[in-house]
Amino acid sequence: MSTENNAPVVNNFIRSIIDEDLATGRRSSVVTRFPPEPNGFAHIGHAKAICINFGLAEDYQGQCNLRMDDTNPEKESDEFVEAFKQDISWLGFKWNGEVRFASDYFDRLYDYAVELIQAGKAYVDDLSAEEMRQYRGSLTEPGKNSPYRDRTPEENLDLFTRMRNGEFPDGSKTLRLKIDMASPNINLRDPAIYRIRRVHHHRTGDKWCIYPMYDYTHCISDAIEGITHSLCSLEFEDHRPLYDWVLDNISIDHHPQQIEFSRLELLYALTSKRKLQALVNDGVVTGWDDPRMPTIAGMRRRGYSPAGIKLFAQRIGVSKSENIIDMTILEGAVRETLENDSPRVMAVVNPIKVTLTNYDAAVTASRSAPFHPHHPEFGERDVPIAREIWIERDDFAEVPPPKWQRLTAGGEVRLRYSYVIKCEEVVKDANGEIVELKCSIDHDTLGKNPEGRKVKGVIHWVSAEHAIQADVRWYDRLFTESRPDAVRGEDGEYVDFRQFLNPESLKLVPAYVEASVLQAAPETRFQFERLGYFVTDRYEHQPGVKAVFNRTVGLKDSWK
């Protein structure tokens, strides 16, 4: 990962920790893990974590496990598991061995809970969730002990066994660690580690009616798997003492090191799976892989490349400071990787008809053109010309502005890879709308400059006879507000992020494109010259039958 796109390895505090661990012999290898909860699709924040965890494992010739945190069965599904697997593979990473699941360890987690109960370090509590909150205290006030905290280990073990056997209603009891209700770290105030919840689990079915909590499950899963460096986002920094406490108080012989880094916040996007799910449920987008979504599947369908996403992750770096990144950084990284790898063709998305009045099939010649000026191995294609062609409406002006270098009435311009033409007549309909331009060809300008005059402008075009009509989805940012879920109203309450949806985030544009693209496979990226980067749709483009393109990003940043 580190040397892709000729980018140097950038040192950061995590690398410094690993280097020291290896140099001192504290660790003999590097084993990381990526532990998503399968309750939605992976988004750009996950992409950063994926690149860090898998990238470091690659760079240190170590291993990275993929482990699904499936301890919350109400919202988890096999669909989301498969989506994570596809996204990570598409980015070019390979996990160590089979996909792992927290549910693989449910029996061992239960046994460790029994061990904690027998040691007097865990107890069954009857407080309701609301009562537990009241007993917990605040940042300035200590909590107070539950009236059930002093149950004997024998009583607790009996109650916990009966919890597992389904004798009690959902939510009526929890298993809590006995740590310190006066701790300044609220996470250590006797956290709950098991709750009763009768929910069908996507892997274990109805075997369990009690499920372990994340903070308890995660550290033990790391230890079981031999993880050396457990990398997570900064909101878990205050949870690290609990991570260490659990491992220090059970009979397990491996203790990973938890290291936190700042999570990614991308402007003009959301990185909350709950809010992204709301966009899907409300029909605002067509699904988790809608090209406007900041999900890896959405970015893939939009035409972003794995190399572009990796380059973005590398550029934003790894630190503990706030990581608020503008969308232009992501778009710039994607644009940079596409520039070198994308074949170039011509397309017209806002057409105006041009009739070449002196076109002569016996005289007017076509040329071939390279798919990329710097990559002859990409090959060439014919660029045929005919009596009628399409040009962009924006490339003609009856009254040109200063420094105009495109076509105007009486003016000349060169057609890309073809002749110089001159506009002789402007044809309008009854409403005064321009419907046709009649132009003449200078037949002596194919592949060379005209004699005695200089023609500066070059415009793209396609032959009306030979071009295919394609459906182009012109995508833009989904939100008009840079931080759509952080805006407060006059009453101090957060404004619903859906108020900032961009009505121009999707336009359906019929376009004319060179015929060579029709045979392209789905997910083939192109540069439409002078327009931007586009990709054949992953699902709806049908080679040889139907051309469907998604706009990936413009040739330069034009967001206002």
Active site positions, annotated: 37, 263, 273
Helix (H, G, I), strand (E, B) or coil at 223: helix
d(CA 303, CA 297) in angstroms, rounded, equals: 10
**Sign of the CA dihedral 149, 154, 158, 160?**
positive
**Sign of the CA dihedral 275, 279, 280, 281?**
positive
Confirm or deny that 143 is annotated as ligand binding.
no
d(CA 179, CA 156) in angstroms, rounded, equals: 16
How crowded is residue 442: how many other Cβ atoms within 10 Å of its Cβ? 17
**Distance between start and end Cα atoms, the chain:** 33
Confirm or deny that 466 is annotated as ligand binding.
no
Task: Give Cα separations from 255 to 13, 477, 553 (angstroms).
Answer: 20, 44, 45
- Sequence-ordered strand ranges (E) for 178-322: 192-196, 210-212, 229-233, 257-261, 264-266
Confirm or deny that 39 is annotated as ligand binding.
yes
d(CA 133, CA 150) in angstroms, rounded, equals: 19
d(CA 78, CA 85) in angstroms, rounded, equals: 11
Classify burial at 63, counting beta carbons within 10 Å of its beta carbon; exposed 0-12, middle 13-18, buried 19 or more. Answer: buried
Helix (H, G, I), strand (E, B) or coil at 345: strand
Instruction: Look up tokens 């759509």; give the residue.
Output: 484
Confirm or deny that 49 is annotated as ligand binding.
yes
Instruction: Look up tokens 């060439």; give the residue.
Output: 380
Classify burial at 108, counting beta carbons within 10 Å of its beta carbon; exposed 0-12, middle 13-18, buried 19 or more. Answer: middle
Confirm or deny that 44 is annotated as ligand binding.
yes
Confirm or deny that 59 is annotated as ligand binding.
no
Confirm or deny that 443 is annotated as ligand binding.
no
Binding site, by residue number, is 37-39, 43-49, 69, 214, 263-264
Binding site for L-glutamine, by residue number, is 69, 214
